Structure 1
Amino acid sequence: MNTTPTHQALQPEYRLLVLLVSIGFFMQALDTTIVNTAIPAMAASLNEDPLQMHSVVVAYVLSVAASIPLSGWLADRFGVRNTYFASIVIFTLASLGCAWSSSLNELLFFRVIQGIGGALLLPVGRLAMLKLIPRTQFLSAMSLMSLAGLVGPLIGPTLGGWMVEVATWHWIFLINLPMGILGCLITFKAMPNVTEPTVPRFDFSGFLLLLVAMVGLSLGIENFASTQYPLWVSAALFTTGLLTAALYAWHAHTHQNALFRSKLFKNKIYAIGILGNFFARFGGNAMPFLMPLMLQVAFGFEPFITGLMMIPTVLGSLASKPVVRPLIQYFGYRKVLLVNTLLVGACIASFALTTAETPVWLRALHFFIFGVLNSLQFVSMNTLTLKDLPQQEASSGNSFLSMIMMLSMSIGIALAGTLINIFTAYFGTEQMTTAFHATLICLGCINLITVMIFWHIPKDTAV
């Protein structure tokens, strides 16, 4: 007798809950991409150099990474509805603060607060669905919810570019207000406040170590080429980040209540997957920030056209979804990741061959191919990382992977911004295109490190 649960269509009583979680996911996904095409306009409005504006993206992504470890504990302690409602309120009010900002420092402050709210939206929403929706309907619910995450990046860059042209950059943040208000109104109707009867003490010392490590590493790299701070400040930040990361590794090994126990990394596949994810995402996650900047600052494209040029990347990502599983089943994780990692690196570096005169059809095809390869990379890495984790470690392992993904994005964007500034100082502002090309080649070459990591995947790794 087959006892495997069948997947059923989503019942009406759960549709409002899925809509609510989808609103949060859409807001978070949209805000990760909508800023990218608006950066030059924001820089002009705030009297800043657009090449120094990567901190606006880094501040948001870094605060998301730092807040992810809090999400599960807060939801268990205070209830999923209270935590989710608080996260929507924080995100919405911070969006208003971003729109009101009259200086870069003000904007960075509110982006950090916005990131804290954004970090809680998706994990807490997903946890609420997991606790409230029957397992037989969970797949249908997740499929519907994931559409919101796909629509956000699809329309984000174009919407951001269009808003900058027809209004001002402030509207890329004000757009969150009606969605946030709608989310707040639905929360109390659709989401019961489920709590856990016993919640362990929060690992505050471990959280502080992780926070200092992430901030130190990201800001150390980000300020390396900054004219505002001497080189020793960046070196001190980076060294502090490395030291606290090492301290957390010791903490995770010796403390029973650590956020992420060291026994996670006794699983060889998980350890390889985490390391691979960390380095592979530097280039891939920096591209949505780097390419709109190059198209506008170096090539002179308008914001709306720049946004449209980003759409083929998302379409390529969508097109790759049906082929990932068959590819891995036929060739195995090791071959797929080794070959695809090299192809992603080569594709990133090949953008150095493009100029302002590159035909539109060729540029669109280039972005589409990058979208396909990048999506193959991310999906393959994620499934490899989590596939062998025992059930009791799945939640902790998934949270750590989510944190590493956002930290890697933060460092990747900081690294891209630093490289542009170093090469601009070397080649001169009149050779801006050359500076971007050199940056792209460097980011592509970083994937060689990832190839060496994935080389250690056992040849007999099962799908």
Structure 2
Amino acid sequence: MPAIIGAALMMQTLNATVIANALPAMAEAFGVAPLRLNIAITIYLLATAIFLPLSGWIADRYGARRVFLTSIVLYAVGSVACGFAQTLDQMALARFIQGAAGAAMAPVGRLVLLRTTPKNELVGAMSVMTMPALLGPVIGPVLGGAIVTFADWPWIFFINLPIAAVGLVLAWRYIPDIREQGASRLDPLGIVLTGVGLACLIFGFETLGRDQANPVAVVGLFAVGLVALALYGRHAARTPHAVIDLSVFRKKTFNASVVGGAFMRIAMGANPFLLAMLLQVAFGMSAFAAGLMTFVSAVGALVMKTTAPPILRRFGFRSVLSVNAVIVGLSFMAYALFRPDWPHWAIMVVLGVGGFFRSLQFTSLNGMAYAEIKQDQMSRAATTSSMIQQLVQSIGIGLAASLLHGLMRYQGETRLTAAVVSPAFMIIGAVTMISMFWFLRLPKDAGDEMNGRAPR
């Protein structure tokens, strides 16, 4: 079952890595600047953030399998619409459909796993679930680069169709129809407040990455978003059936995983965008050559999935997360050293090592998050975690585009060069290390129940 859920999630990871590699070709087809194509990534995250608050409630009300299957179908429909898009506006609308479908796919799949797996087996089960999903980043850059170089960019979306077909058959046959008995009442006010708040913040960060961002509009978006989320905080304190259960943040392991881990996920949101700009635009590589470079990072991540559980049993969540946060930050900073005359094998080694340790970090974060969560909180905890992940990834993309614009102006450049892109990796690497302040405050035995670690 974890492998089947992961296979469906592979559509999302495959699409994410493929589209990052195809941005320059898509920009040329639409007649816009490459940096403007960050909206193709951000609008997906925007739609996901809007519909995520509903995912847990819908799964409890109508059954996880039905919702999971419906999300696969809608994702395939959105993929077809993306492939036939003729303008940037049409692409944005099609990506919105994809994002709305993806809003249910990941949290509902995770919810099924959380409710059917004993806690001491959850880290291993999540590793199995994410292994098929990691095939997307492994084959995505190479496949996307080959399609863009030798065919045409619409095929990067059409390749989702056979994956969706196989996923539908397997999920229909093997995924149990999990639903909460006596599902809570719908919280329409909470859904509106969280949807408006997250949408304004995500679109605000996307606007920061535009060539001619209106400062008043940007400030207005952030203000509306923060006010809406603040109002939701007051609403949730007085509403037992609030769509997002804020009490889960009182759990140290969940707080460290979601809030501390957010700084890691900001970097993960920025990384594919920055690498595409560096290798293709600044270095002048073809999409296929850049794909061959970056796929090694995902290979390293896939290798780590088999070694993460024993590492966590040996050293524990706190030690692994704290030490590895420094390693991951330094790996991002190392990307700033890349130059056009570097041998390709050297770039691939650095990317592979970085992918290896980032995978360990996210396996640890995902496994520890639910250590103190009770069964009746699982649905809203999974939804809350997914919402914040989407928000911070959009922050990463907006931050990356904003950094590139700022660095171009500071250096007086009119186009992207290695000297412009490289400092952005240094800043992103420093951001990831902020997460250590949450990890170091964890108890030594934090999450030991999740990885079967013997008491010491």
TM-score category by the smaller chain? 0.7 to 0.9
Number of residue equivalences: 447
Q: What is the aligned counterpart of 1:388 among 368, 372, 380?
A: 372
For each residue in 1:374-403, what CA deviation from the matched residue of structure 2 results, as whole angstroms up to 9, or x when unmatched?
112212222333222233323322322222
Shift of 1:408: 1.4
For each residue in 1:326-381, what CA deviation from the matched residue of structure 2 results, as whole angstroms up to 9, or x when unmatched?
44444443333222212212221221111111111211110011112211221222
Corresponding residue number in structure 2 for 1:52: 36
Distance 1:140 1:267 in 2: 22
Larger Rg: 1
Q: What is the aligned counterpart of 2:414 among 401, 413, 429?
A: 429
Is the partner of 2:208 in helix, strand or coil?
A: coil
8 A contact 1:36–1:293 mirrored in 2: no
Q: What is the aligned counterpart of 1:119 among 89, 103, 106?
A: 103
Corresponding residue number in structure 2 for 1:316: 300
Shift of 1:59: 1.4
Q: What is the aligned counterpart of 1:234 among 183, 196, 218?
A: 218
8 A contact 2:7–2:133 mirrored in 1: no
Corresponding residue number in structure 1 for 2:79: 95
Is the partner of 2:240 in helix, strand or coil?
A: coil
Question: Which has the larger displacement, 59-68 or 214-223?
Answer: 59-68
Shift of 1:159: 0.8
Distance 1:145 1:383 in 2: 12
8 A contact 1:216–1:240 mirrored in 2: yes
Distance 1:174 1:67 in 2: 24
Corresponding residue number in structure 1 for 2:255: 271
Q: Which stretches in structure 1 are left out of the alignment for 5+ residues?
A: 1-16
User: What code does the residue aligned with 2:72 have?
Assistant: I
TM-aligned CA distance change 1:192 to 1:261, over 3 Å = closer
Shift of 1:128: 5.9
Matches within 5 A, 1:71-82: 71-82=55-66
Question: Which has the larger displacement, 189-198 or 299-308?
Answer: 189-198
Q: What is the aligned counterpart of 2:244 among 260, 269, 276?
A: 260
User: What code does the residue aligned with 2:143 have?
Assistant: L
8 A contact 2:269–2:395 mirrored in 1: no
What is the TM-score of this pair, normalised by structure 2?
0.88
Corresponding residue number in structure 1 for 2:133: 149
Question: Which has the larger displacement, 434-443 or 260-269?
Answer: 260-269
Q: Which stretches in structure 2 are left out of the alignment for 5+ residues?
A: 449-456
TM-aligned CA distance change 1:133 to 1:364, over 3 Å = closer
Q: What is the aligned counterpart of 1:251 among 235, 238, 241?
A: 235
Shift of 1:235: 1.3
For each residue in 1:181-210, what CA deviation from the matched residue of structure 2 results, as whole angstroms up to 9, or x when unmatched?
555567666668676663322112112221
TM-aligned CA distance change 1:257 to 1:103, over 3 Å = same
Q: What is the aligned counterpart of 1:418 among 402, 407, 411?
A: 402
Distance 2:94 2:177 in 1: 28
Distance 1:21 1:315 in 2: 20
8 A contact 1:35–1:172 mirrored in 2: yes
User: What code does the residue aligned with 2:232 have?
Assistant: Y
Distance 2:247 2:114 in 1: 25
Corresponding residue number in structure 1 for 2:451: none
TM-aligned CA distance change 1:431 to 1:65, over 3 Å = closer
Distance 1:141 1:330 in 2: 18
8 A contact 2:55–2:103 mirrored in 1: yes
Q: What is the aligned counterpart of 2:155 among 168, 171, 177?
A: 171
TM-aligned CA distance change 1:128 to 1:266, over 3 Å = closer
Q: What is the aligned counterpart of 2:91 among 103, 107, 126?
A: 107
User: What code does the residue aligned with 1:276 have?
Assistant: G
User: What code does the residue aligned with 2:321 have?
Assistant: L
TM-aligned CA distance change 1:143 to 1:332, over 3 Å = closer
Distance 1:272 1:186 in 2: 35
8 A contact 2:245–2:381 mirrored in 1: no
Distance 1:227 1:40 in 2: 16
Question: Which has the larger displacement, 188-197 or 394-403?
Answer: 188-197
Distance 2:4 2:337 in 1: 44
User: What code does the residue aligned with 2:303 have?
Assistant: A
Corresponding residue number in structure 1 for 2:9: 25
Corresponding residue number in structure 2 for 1:444: 429
Corresponding residue number in structure 2 for 1:5: none
8 A contact 1:225–1:422 mirrored in 2: no
Question: Which has the larger displacement, 140-149 or 276-285?
Answer: 140-149
Q: What is the aligned counterpart of 2:331 among 343, 347, 353?
A: 347
CA-based RMSD: 3.0
User: What code does the residue aligned with 1:368 have?
Assistant: G
Is the partner of 1:53 in helix, strand or coil?
A: helix
Shift of 1:322: 4.1
Matches within 5 A, 1:193-342: 198-342=182-326
Distance 2:171 2:321 in 1: 41
8 A contact 1:281–1:409 mirrored in 2: yes
Distance 2:365 2:3 in 1: 29
Question: Which has the larger displacement, 186-195 or 329-338?
Answer: 186-195
What is the TM-score of this pair, normalised by structure 1?
0.87
User: What code does the residue aligned with 2:105 have?
Assistant: L
User: What code does the residue aligned with 2:436 have?
Assistant: V
8 A contact 2:107–2:386 mirrored in 1: no
Corresponding residue number in structure 2 for 1:370: 354
Shift of 1:268: 2.7
Corresponding residue number in structure 2 for 1:360: 344
Shift of 1:104: 0.9
User: What code does the residue aligned with 1:231 have?
Assistant: P
